[in-house]
Each structure stands twice: as structure tokens, then as C-alpha cells.
Structure 1
Amino acid sequence: MMQLLQDFFGWFGYLERPSVLGQMLLALLPLVGLHLLRRRLRRRSPLVPLLLPLTLALIGLGTGLLAWAGQPYGLALLLLQLRAAWFGLDLLQLLLTKVLPSGLLHQLQSRLIRPAFLLLAGIALIDQLDTLDDLALISVGTWFGVPLDLSRLFLALVILYLVVVGSGPLAAALALLVKKVLEIDEGSRRAVQLLFRYLVVAIGVVWVCSHLGLNATAILAIAGGLSVGLGFGIKEVFSNFVSGLWLLFEGSVRPGAVLFIDGDPCEVRSLGLRAAVLWRDRDNAELVIPNQTFFTSTTTTYTGSDRMRRSQVSVGAAYRHDPEQVVALLEATARAQARVLPSPPPKALVLAYGESSIDYALRFWIANPMDNVSICSEVNMAVWKAFDAAGIEIPFPQRVVKTIEAPSPVSVPPAAPDR
């Protein structure tokens, strides 16, 4: 490890050479000028698309002059190639925009394409400063009784990163295949996808440990020691991890499920190893709830056996209207709504005789629990229009006040004077 640090600080001495500084200025100054010109020019200016090709041509001309003069030009040529390759990535992104969804394209660019380019660029720059073969043989210590050099550790980390990043698309493809073969619903597909991803990552970690030649006995011994710490410092994390796996296998809480949390329906967006992320439609908020919460408290779900939900709206009608007529009108109004399910059929009930009106409840079923508020609003508006067309009054709160006259006072004859 000390040898690696010595080589790292030794690179700064190489950067202080006049020939190296000249190549860096040749490559970097035109790029700085390009950035300043872009800030001054408007985005719609016809010159903006031509600035980068002109800058690259200018750097290439300078690199050619260095080669013609017999001066070192390798670093300048490398920086030119890297900037041109980055420009090629921008063009590739424009082409992929027409093929891939924006979310998938962003993940592909940010997690795979651009990190891979930066890794290769870093390796190329290090190759200009030092010899890669010598760096690969540098020892980074002994792990679990196995001596490791830099090349094996670097390869293991790269493969592990690729496994973690690439497990998402692979798991999604496998889950889609399972959905088509077994005809499972969307929530089950998401749960299967998450399980497949954990399985692929676990296999990748085992393969990396085997590639490094780590001692399995030493790993098990350390794992046994860590198990003692699970009972003290990180028992909550471990509990959430086990709860998340159990919920995936049980299927009671899975991506796509709709739960009733704090009086609001919330959709499960993802179920991670530590917590579940739920989306609340009322204010577009995301709730992060630890997995073990679903084991320690009662949870109401609308998607346990199906996704239907029974909704209800309340309304009052004046006493002069026949309750049978009002009930029939309410049920017909609910049946006419497009997002109200015809089966089970809507049902109107007489709830109570209130102070100002007869109180009714209209109950109906909907397909998506997350649409409850908007569908109830549509039904309420339809009820108001139906009552208005039928001449049924929705009375205001009223109270009958009856005035009672006080009785006349009784006249009492005056007392006779004393004699």
C-alpha cells in the first residue's frame, strides 16, 4: 500500500515538467475558451453547434505542430481523443433518445456508459504517467489470509459494480418472462424482479470472493463475530433486512400494492432491504417506512386478494321527497359513471332522519384504490346534477323556532288597611 501511495505522489513530479504542462495548456485552454463562448452566445445561435468541432480541430492542429517539431505530444493527443469520445457519447445519447424511454436512458448513461468511459479514461491517463504492468503487481495487503495485488482487487471491484448495475435489466427481463409464462399480475412481477436481482447480486458476490481466493473459513469466522454485533448496534438494520425478504416471499407487501397509511391510500413503489418506499397521491409525497413496521403494526391493504375498493358518498334530501325515488336515482347515477364498476352493483341506503334532511349513502365499487378521491368527486358532481334535474332539494341546515306567549299575570286585590 505504501508503494502505491509513493507512485501516486510521484505522478505530481511528472506533471511539473515543462513539456507536460505545455501539452495540458494546449488541450485545456481551448476547452475553457469554448465554455466561456457558450455562456456568452445564445443557445439558439447558429454558431453554438460549430464551437466544439472547431475547438477539437484547433487542439488537433496544435498537437500536429508538436509532432512536426519533434516535441512530446502523447498527452495532448490523449486529451484530444478523450474530449472527442465524450462528444461521441453526447451524439449516442441523442440517438438512443429515439429508441429508449427517458428514465431507462438516464440510468444507462449515469450508471454504465459514462462511468465506464471515465474508468477507461483514468486508465489511459495513468498509462501516460506510469506503467500499468508495474502498478498491477503492487500488493494491497493480505485479506482473510490471502495476499492481494492491485490488479486482482481492481478486477473484483469492477466485476462487482457491473453485477450490481447490470442485475437490474437482467432481473427485469427474467421477471417479464415469468409473468408471460405463469400469467402473474404486475405486483407479483415486480416482487419476482426484486428477488431475481438479489439472487444475481448474491451470486456475483460469491463469484468475486472465489475469484479473489478468499479463505471461506476466515470469512465464516468473521461473520460469526459480526453476528454478536447484530444483537447490539445494527439489530434494527438486520431486522429490516429479514423483514424485507419475508415480505417478498409472503407477498403481503410488494411493489404495486396499495396500503392505507395514516388515513391515506399509498402505493408501494419499491421494497428495499431496509425500507419500503410508498407514494401518496394526495400531496405527491414518498413515504420511507422500515420493513419491520409491517410486522409490528396492523396494516390495511386494498390489494390483498384484488384491487377493488368500495367507496361511499353521502348526501341529504328534503323530507318531502319519496325515499324510494331518491334511492333509485342515486343508484342510477352511480351506474352511469364510467369509472364505477357495474358489478358489484351500486347500492344506495337510507342512513338516518336528520334534523334538516333524510341522510343517504351511495356505495359503489372502483377498480383502482388510488383513484378513490377523483371518482368520489365525479359521483358527487353527477348526484348534484341528477338532483337538480329531478327537482330534489338538498336542504340547508334549518331549525324550527316556535314562539310561546307568556301567560297574563294574575291580579291580586290590595290588602285591607289595619284598623
Structure 2
Amino acid sequence: MRELVWRDIGIVLGHEWAIGSWSISFGEIFTFAIAVWLGIAVAGATRALLREDVLPRLELPRGVPDTISSVAYYALMALGFLFAVGAAGIDLSRITILVGALGVGIGFGLQNIVNNFISGLILLFERPIQMGDTIEVGGLMGNVQVIGIRASTVRTFDGAEVIVPNADLISTQVTNWTLSDKLRRIEVPIGVAYGSDPKQVLTILREVATRHPKLLTNPEPAALFVGFGDSSLDFSLRAWTAEFETWLHIRSDLYTQIYEALAEAGIAIPFPQRDLHLRSVDRGAAEALRPQGPALSDP
């Protein structure tokens, strides 16, 4: 019974289809599929091993471990494909027509895919953008989660995951906030009422920045008198922090502490004010606007 089963399996796997001078069997298809699956599994396991265990132990520049693991992954994928072709007994000369047709397809319909593929290689080797970086491109701002061979994934601060083609990251202007370091300058504009002492305001702003534990002393915070506004004297506090991820919270703290310090010093933050000059007024409106009170009699 077992021999009959194996004989039937052999017959099925050995059955061939002929397409012109090219023939293929179930056995070749099965062997090719198993070899490709093994290649993908080995490539994925190798990338995970390098990224999670081997490379973190080495003192490599930021981004190099991801480049090494990604290159190893795609190289093993290519070797796995070649191994699958050889294991299936497929003659490479048989697929020359397919390769030629693929070349024509690349020339006409796959230009964007090839462009994104080449751009992905540039990102891997030049490393202008690395996983974990905070970037801004085309009005989109977020953290880079994955740099793939065709596209990269950027997670916005609203929680959305946006797929960005690699060609856009190469051909357009990209602002990388964390490429070389995570320093961030914080600017806090503030306006005080006319009549306030500018020197006192500048001293208060510098003292608030100096007391904050998450602001750097080098470069030191700067308090500037920037101009005369419509309703206020305008100042600006500028300081640097090394905690890029929490700079919004730090700025919020500075606003709160500046407000409390100005209130304690008796310095007011004015409301917007406008002077209204009427060139012509209706008689009834003029009577309504006239101050009410006892009429003064002529002496």
C-alpha cells in the first residue's frame, strides 16, 4: 500500500507540461517552492540574530547595525532564490526570455519600483535617515520605524503609520531633527505691558531658564528684547535641551513658570488693545456715546 502511494506521488510530481521547448513538472515546482521558503526563513532568522543579538554587542556607529542586517537579509534572499532554481533543476538558459521580458517591463511599467529600490540601497549605505530618527518630509512629521528596500514607514505623532516611497526620501527635501544628535532649541515668546522694566523682564526670563533642570547650560539660555508690539513689549526666551522627545513638555513648563514669575513680580501680560478713531458719526450714535451726567450751566 505504501509503495503504491509513493508510486502515485512520484507519477504526479514527475508529470510535465511542455510549453514550446520549455517543460516543467510538479516536482520542480514543489522543490522550488520549498527552497524559496527555506531561503526566506534563513534570511529572516539571520537578520533577527544580527539585529537583536550579535551587532548590539559591537561598538558600531548608529545605523550601521541596521544596514548590515538588511544587506545580509537581501543577500541571503538572492542566494536562496538561486539555490531554489538550482535545486529545482531549472536551466537558467530557459529563463533568458523571461529576463528579457522583465527588462522591457522595467523600462516601461516598473520605473518607479526600480527607482524606489535604488533609493532604498542609497538610504541603507549613505544613512541620511536611520530608524528611530524624527523627520519632516512633505508636511509629514514623525519617527522612522522601518526602512525597507522599496518604502519606509513613518509613524506620525498622531499615531498614524505612513508608507513613504524611498524615492521621496532621496529626491525631495527632508528635515532630519535627530541625524547627528537629539538637541532641540526651544523658543518661548512673551509679551508684557508697556511701562514694564525691560531689564527686570530679561532677568526673570534668564532665572526661569537657569532653574529648569532639563535645559542645557552650554549653550546657555538667551533672553532677548525683540521689539515693540501693538499692545506689548515683546521678549523671547531661547534655550536648548538634549531631551528631544519631551521638548513640548519642557516648553509647557517654561510657559507656566514664566507666568508665575511675572505675576509674582507684578508685571502684567496685556490683552490686545486697539484705539478706534471715528471720522463721521450719526447724530443718534453721537448722543448715545456722549458721557452721561448733569449738564453744566454757563456762568
TM-score by length of 1: 0.58
Q: Verify the 8 A CA contact 1:255 1:270 in the aligned structure 2.
A: yes
Q: 1:260 aligns with which of 120, 136, 156?
A: 136
CA distance in 1, matches of 2:214, 2:18: 65
CA distance in 1, matches of 2:192, 2:24: 82
- Which amino acid in 1 is paired with 2:177? Y
Change in CA separation of 1:351 and 1:153 when aligned onto 2, cut-off 3 Å? same
Cα drift, residue 362 of structure 1: 1.8
Aligned to 1:337: 212
Cα drift, residue 198 of structure 1: 1.6
CA distance in 2, matches of 1:144, 1:394: 87
Paired positions, count: 275
* Structure 1 residues 316-372: Cα deviation after superposition (integer angstroms, max 9, x where no partner): 122333323322322332343344334322222222111211112222223354444
- Which amino acid in 2 is paired with 1:230? I
Matched, 1:231 2:129: no
Q: Verify the 8 A CA contact 2:50 2:69 in the aligned structure 1.
A: yes
Change in CA separation of 1:272 and 1:392 when aligned onto 2, cut-off 3 Å? same
Structure 2: tracts of 5 or more residues without a match: 280-299
- Which amino acid in 1 is paired with 2:248? V
Cα drift, residue 263 of structure 1: 4.5
- Which amino acid in 2 is paired with 1:357? S
Cα drift, residue 280 of structure 1: 0.8
Cα drift, residue 191 of structure 1: 3.5
TM-score by length of 2: 0.78
Aligned to 1:134: 8
Change in CA separation of 1:350 and 1:195 when aligned onto 2, cut-off 3 Å? farther
Q: Verify the 8 A CA contact 2:137 2:169 in the aligned structure 1.
A: no
CA distance in 1, matches of 2:79, 2:230: 70
Q: Verify the 8 A CA contact 1:145 1:215 in the aligned structure 2.
A: no
CA distance in 2, matches of 1:349, 1:159: 68
- Which amino acid in 2 is paired with 1:304? L
Change in CA separation of 1:391 and 1:235 when aligned onto 2, cut-off 3 Å? same
Q: Verify the 8 A CA contact 2:222 2:238 in the aligned structure 1.
A: yes
Greater Cα radius of gyration, structure 1 or 2 = 1
Structure in which a larger fraction of residues adopt helix: 1
Write the mapping of 1:56-95 to structure 2, written as runs, cut at 5 A. none
- Which amino acid in 2 is paired with 1:198? Y
Write the mapping of 1:162-181 to structure 2, written as runs, cut at 5 A. 162-176=38-52, 177-181=54-58
Task: Name the SS for the 1:238 alignment partner.
Answer: helix
Q: 2:79 aligns with which of 187, 203, 208?
A: 203
CA distance in 2, matches of 1:166, 1:329: 62
Structure 1: tracts of 5 or more residues without a match: 1-126, 405-419
Range moving further from structure 2, 133-142 or 237-246: 133-142
Higher relative contact order (CA 8 A, sep 6+): 2
Task: Name the SS for the 2:58 alignment partner.
Answer: helix
- Which amino acid in 2 is paired with 1:268? V
Change in CA separation of 1:250 and 1:145 when aligned onto 2, cut-off 3 Å? farther
CA distance in 1, matches of 2:16, 2:240: 65
* Structure 1 residues 33-82: Cα deviation after superposition (integer angstroms, max 9, x where no partner): xxxxxxxxxxxxxxxxxxxxxxxxxxxxxxxxxxxxxxxxxxxxxxxxxx
Q: Verify the 8 A CA contact 1:144 1:215 in the aligned structure 2.
A: no
CA distance in 2, matches of 1:199, 1:144: 33
Change in CA separation of 1:160 and 1:357 when aligned onto 2, cut-off 3 Å? same
Change in CA separation of 1:232 and 1:264 when aligned onto 2, cut-off 3 Å? closer
Structure in which a larger fraction of residues adopt strand: 2
Task: Name the SS for the 2:90 alignment partner.
Answer: coil
Q: 1:215 aligns with which of 91, 94, 100?
A: 91
Change in CA separation of 1:140 and 1:275 when aligned onto 2, cut-off 3 Å? farther
Range moving further from structure 2, 271-280 or 315-324: 315-324
Q: Verify the 8 A CA contact 2:185 2:239 in the aligned structure 1.
A: yes
Write the mapping of 1:11-90 to structure 2, written as runs, cut at 5 A. none
CA distance in 2, matches of 1:262, 1:369: 21
CA distance in 1, matches of 2:278, 2:156: 53
- Which amino acid in 2 is paired with 1:396? F
Change in CA separation of 1:174 and 1:146 when aligned onto 2, cut-off 3 Å? farther
* Structure 1 residues 113-156: Cα deviation after superposition (integer angstroms, max 9, x where no partner): xxxxxxxxxxxxxx99x935532433354699775543443243
Change in CA separation of 1:263 and 1:220 when aligned onto 2, cut-off 3 Å? same
